[in-house]
């Protein structure tokens, strides 16, 4: 019970009442009721040390341990002072003047594509849209428990600023982040994040005010402005070093049939950088005998020495476009059609393994029922069981 498990992946079943759970080390699958996993009608947007964070269509956030059945509500999102629930919780309105003051420390820069130079007075979303266009990921502190945790909410890119909550405060507090937080982890007692600009920051909480502030702790990531860069993740190596995993997407042409017709498809590839703290630089890494798992809900690295049956030198990835998945689900997965000229993005939605040495991608667990090109709902997630 005390040995750390290798990551599992939780697939949605053919109905929302079922989920399929697969161990990356053991392989066999099990079908379980989502009500038993605390996942029924919910989307997982966080996974830390055996605890999942889920969001429902009422914008309620909840933490749950599927292995033990323990659950607890996280603070209501409208405890953010300038985010107001209306219509009995059916709508959420963001008062933009105080929000922008928090995020930018003043007016947004004119070149900001989301908020400058002419900013409306408010922005409103339905409760169901919150997990599509406001939430992105929740990171919990190490070994969380319902009465003892800190949580970092990463918002969607156009919002950008993170929010923090603790078990003792029971409110969300937004923090300043002009460049916007893209991903974060909890490591060595602190939250670490990477901005869209490629800066890695560490966050500290003021014991007096409860506010969180950040400072840059590493050089800017190389290639952060690469046009092919789709997503950045943070992880920690088995040796305790910070790692940055960069997900790139390129367009390639694929021949169709004997008449020379072509279609455009999106191919995924990854690069990894490890922070050399002593020399203050990022170095390209091949991962060695480690295995990386990335997705919107979690990013982690495990050693093959501890988990011999896990594929080393690889990056395991899932669909991390939760907002897009929400939209596809709302439109109906069977009715969704790509527009003329839109690239085939099926590889972005697959659960797959990227082999760093060969640069090839292969599908993971193709025998899972329904694991085809149709969008999955909700997106698969990584999960490390814990009975503590």
DSSP code, position 80: S
Structure pTM? 0.92
pLDDT value of position 21: 87
Contact 382, 21 (CB under 8 A): no
Phi and psi at residue 204, to the nearest 5°: -125, 145
Average pLDDT, the chain: 87
Of residues 71 and 333, more confidence is placed in 71
pLDDT in tens, 97-107: 999 999 999 88
Is residue 168 exposed (0-12), middle (13-18) or buried (19+ Cβ within 10 Å)? exposed
3-class secondary-structure state, position 314:
strand
pLDDT in tens, 218-266: 999 988 888 888 999 999 999 999 999 999 999 888 777 666 677 888 8
- CB atoms closer than 10 angstroms to residue 305: 10
Q: Give me the half-sphere count of Cα atoms (radius 13 Å) on the Cβ side of residue 284.
A: 5
3-class secondary-structure state, position 279:
coil
Return the percentage of the chain with pLDDT > 70, whole number: 91
**What is the Cα gyration radius of the chain?**
20
Contact 238, 290 (CB under 8 A): yes
DSSP code, position 220: P
Q: Rounded to 10 degrees, what is the CA torsion of 114, 154, 312, 5?
A: -160
Is the pLDDT score of 365 beyond 70? no
What is the rounded CA–CA span in Å between residue 138 and residue 381?
A: 13
Domain residue limits, the chain: 223-388
What is the rounded CA–CA span in Å between residue 143 and residue 128?
A: 30
Helix locations, the chain, DSSP H: 96-104, 130-133, 322-331, 346-349
Contact 81, 89 (CB under 8 A): no
Q: Rounded to 10 degrees, what is the CA torsion of 3, 298, 227, 285?
A: -10
Q: 23-37, 142-156, 370-384: lowest mean pLDDT where?
A: 370-384
DSSP code, position 77: G
């Amino acid at each position: 019970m005390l040995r750390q498990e290798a990551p599992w992946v939780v697939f949605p079943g053919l109905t929302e009442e079922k989920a399929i759970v697969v161990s990356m080390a053991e392989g066999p699958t099990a079908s379980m009721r989502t009500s038993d996993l605390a996942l029924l009608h919910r989307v997982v947007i966080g996974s830390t040390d055996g605890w999942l964070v889920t969001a429902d269509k009422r914008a309620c956030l909840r933490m749950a341990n599927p292995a033990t059945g323990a659950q607890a509500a996280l603070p209501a999102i409208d405890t953010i002072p300038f985010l107001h629930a209306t219509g009995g919780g059916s709508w959420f309105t963001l008062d933009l003047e105080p929000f922008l003051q928090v995020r930018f420390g003043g007016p947004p820069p004119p070149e900001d594509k989301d908020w400058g130079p002419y900013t409306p007075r408010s922005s409103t979303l339905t409760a169901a849209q919150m997990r599509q266009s406001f939430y992105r990921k929740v990171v919990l502190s190490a070994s969380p428990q319902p009465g003892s945790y800190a949580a970092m909410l990463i918002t969607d890119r156009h919002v950008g600023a993170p929010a923090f909550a603790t078990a003792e405060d029971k409110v969300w507090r937004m923090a300043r982040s002009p460049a916007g937080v893209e991903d974060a982890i909890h490591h060595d007692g602190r939250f670490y994040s990477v901005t869209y600009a490629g800066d890695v920051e560490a966050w500290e909480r003021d014991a007096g005010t409860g506010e969180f502030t950040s400072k840059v702790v590493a050089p800017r990531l190389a290639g952060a402005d690469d046009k092919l860069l789709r997503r950045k993740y943070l992880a920690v190596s088995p040796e305790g070093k910070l790692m940055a995993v960069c997900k790139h997407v390129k367009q390639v042409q694929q021949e169709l049939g004997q008449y020379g017709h072509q279609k455009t498809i999106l191919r995924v590839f990854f690069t990894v950088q490890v922070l050399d703290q002593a020399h203050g630089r990022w170095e390209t890494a091949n991962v060695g005998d480690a295995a990386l798992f990335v997705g919107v809900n979690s990013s982690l690295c495990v050693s093959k020495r501890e988990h011999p049956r896990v594929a080393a030198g690889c990056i395991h990835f899932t669909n991390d476009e939760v907002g897009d998945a929400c939209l596809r689900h709302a439109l109906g997965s069977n009715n969704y059609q790509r527009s003329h000229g839109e690239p085939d993005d099926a590889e972005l939605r697959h659960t797959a393994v990227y082999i760093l040495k060969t640069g090839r991608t292969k599908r993971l667990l193709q025998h899972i029922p329904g694991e085809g090109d149709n969008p999955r709902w909700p997106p698969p997630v990584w999960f490390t069981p814990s009975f503590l």
